[in-house]
Amino acid sequence: MDASNRGLLLHRLADAIERDAAYLAELETIDNGKPYAVSYMVDLPHVVKCFRYYAGWADKWEGKTIPIDGDFFCYTRHEPIGVCGQIIPWNFPLLMQAWKLGPALATGNTVVMKVAEQTPLTALYVASLIKEVGFPDGVVNILAGLGASAGAAIARHMDVDKVAFTGSTEVGHLIQQASGGSNLKKVTLELGGKSPNIILSDANMEDAVEQSHFALFFNQGQCCCAGSRTYVQADIYDEFVERSVERAKRRVVGDPFDLKTEQGPQVDQEQFNKILGYISSGKREGAKLLCGGGVAADRGYYIQPTVFGDVQDNMTIAREEIFGPVMQILKFKSLEEVVERANDTKYGLAAAVFTKDIDKANYVSHSLRAGTVWINCFDVFGAQAPFGGYKASGNGRELGEYGLENYTEVKTVTMKVPQKNS
């Protein structure tokens, strides 16, 4: 098939998803609990854009001809890797599916995708669209299953050439080991984070408070890149905390289909229990509970927007990924100090700094060990911009042109020629 035709199929898929956006958004909300307004206004448009972005790359991923020493003609081909296993999580089901399928299919691979057992519905619907728009049989295969069985089977399969996993760091370790224990399949991982969000005293206060609130609470706190350590410079600390608490108290928790709702339920019992456990540890270890801290409704997995102040770096809530609506605010004095404390974590997914000072912005953003650094904003994503982690937050980058590299095998071809001509 012409590469441009692969791109055309991806475009048609984007069109079909756009056509069925309202239905898919509804299904996503029913399955995951995120507010419908967000599914429809955020998740779905990003999904469509991701497929369109990669549709455009299909016939533009070019090898090179190379001026090698000697009487040879040398070029590279960018070939697909082969059969790619892809294991995706429950926090952004459709979006994670798009992030995985887009680059894999643009580059010509075939896919076996295991969707999260908590949220299989939208991915399976998209499978019907994949067939409708005309992808040949076998190019995309989508299975719902459990990690310990289906996921493990993919990770250790002797005929899967590559596995891409998004999920917890804990399972990431298992995937990497499984690759080593089977056929050394290529591995890319997008794992957890404990991302620092640094507020300097010259930041625009209102903006910083709102963005920091969003950075933590978006998607019920269920984001790998959540800004879950909010470092605030000493001279603005008290005001920042007061405003953040006030904002958290105003956060509307409720029925995800109510368009006024900002926060829906957590995804399941297991997550719900885990988050409540972290809240207890926070109280126990001496953090100051400023609002929330408990269950928000008498049925479903709703948790009150919770804010802890005076958090210390060694507390459990400051070190471990909570993945829920629990905000940690910590105080710092100097830039050097906060950079060191921000980097003092096994994770390295994202970070942010709020400041108007150009020097400080550059200093901090260049010093943080994180795959994405936001300046005066948070959670800004585009299909064009690569995303991924340093350290135990993963390896490899998704999105952008960089995303294609993970799905490519480079073949060098070198031919003898009778005489070199430069």
Partner 1 sequence: MPVNGAGVQQTEGSTPASPTEAKEDNMTDNVHQQQSDNGCNHQSPNQNHKPQHGDGPETQTLPMPVPDPPIQYTKLFINNEWHESCSGRKIPVYNPATGTLLCEVEEADTEDVDEAVRSARAAFQMGSPWRSMDASDRGQLLNKLADLVERDRLLLATLEALDSGKVFLMAYFVDLMATIKTLRYYGGWADKIHGKTIPIDGEYFTYTRHEPIGVCGQIIPWNFPVMMFAWKIAPALCCGNTVVIKPAEQTPLSALHMAALIKEAGFPPGVVNVVPGYGQTAGCAISHHMDIDKIAFTGSTAVGKLIQRAAGDSNLKRVTLELGGKNPNIVFSDCDLEHAVEQAHSGLFFNQGQCCLAGSRVFVEGPIYEEFVHRSVEKARGKVLGNPLLPGVDHGPQIDQKQFDKIMELIESGKREGATLECGGSAWGQQGLFIQPTVFSNVTDDMRIAKEEIFGPVQLIMCFRTTREVIQRANATQYGLAAGVFTNDIDKALTVSSALQAGMVWVNCYNAMSVQCPFGGFKMSGNGRELGEYALQEYTEVKAVTIKISQKNS
Q: 3-state class of 270 per DSSP?
A: helix
Judged by beta carbon, residue 274 or residue 360, the one nearer partner 1 is: 360
Q: What is the closest distance, in whole angstroms, from the C-beta atom of residue 336 to partner 1 in the complex?
A: 11
Report yes or no: 57 and 86 within 8 Å, Cβ to Cβ: no
Q: What angle do CA 251, 256, 257 make, to 5 degrees?
A: 125
Phi, psi of 164 (to 5 degrees): -120, 125
- Tell me the pairing of strands 186-190 and 162-166: parallel
> Could you tell me the CA-to-CA distances from 89 to 148, 165, 198, 393 in Å, in that order?
14, 8, 28, 15
Question: Containing H/E element for 403?
Answer: helix 402-405
Q: Is 70 in the site for partner 1 (CB under 8 A)?
A: no
Distance from the first to the final alpha carbon of the chain = 33
- The reply to whether 34 sits near partner 1 by the rule CB under 8 A is no
Integer Cα distance of 289 and 42 in angstroms: 31
Cβ neighbour number for residue 286 with a 10 Å cutoff: 11
- Tell the smallest beta-carbon distance from residue 340 to partner 1 (Å): 13
Using CB under 8 A, pick the residue from 6, 34, 49, 100 that binds partner 1.
49
Please identify, using beta-carbon distances, which residue of 4 and 149 lies nearer to partner 1.
4
Single residue of 13, 25, 38, 55 touching partner 1 by CB under 8 A: 55
User: Which residue stretches of 197-334 are H helix?
Assistant: 205-217, 234-250, 269-284, 316-319
The CA distances from residue 85 to 6, 88, 104, 289, in Å, are: 19, 10, 10, 43
Which residue's structure tokens are 């470092």?
231
Check if the beta carbon of residue 39 is closer than 8 Å to that of residue 25.
yes
Residues 393-422 that bind partner 1 (CB under 8 A): 401, 415, 417-419, 421
63 binds partner 1 (CB under 8 A): no
The answer to the question of residue 381 lying near partner 1 (CB under 8 A) is no
69 binds partner 1 (CB under 8 A): no
Nearest CB to partner 1, comparing residues 198 and 287: 198
106-145 residues in contact with partner 1 (CB under 8 A) are: 133-134
Binding of residue 251 to partner 1 (CB under 8 A): no
Q: Does 198 bind partner 1 (CB under 8 A)?
A: no
**Residue from 75, 214, 363, 381 in contact with partner 1 (CB under 8 A):** 363
# chain residues binding partner 1, by CB under 8 A: 36
Query: Which of 362, 380, 413, 414 touches partner 1 (CB under 8 A)?
Result: 362
Angle at 272 between CA 270 and CA 277, to 5 degrees: 95
Element housing 80 (H / E): strand 72-80
Query: What is the pattern of x (binds partner 1, CB under 8 A) and - over residues 299-338?
Result: ----------------------------------------
- Provide φ and ψ at 198, rounded to 5°: -105, 120
- Residue whose CB is less far from partner 1, 5 or 280: 5
Q: Which is nearer to partner 1, 12 or 156 (CB)?
A: 12
To partner 1, the closest distance from the beta carbon of 150 in angstroms equals: 32
Binding site for partner 1 (CB under 8 A): 1, 3-5, 7-8, 11-12, 49, 52-53, 55-60, 62, 73, 133-134, 358-359, 362-363, 366-367, 382-384, 401, 415, 417-419, 421
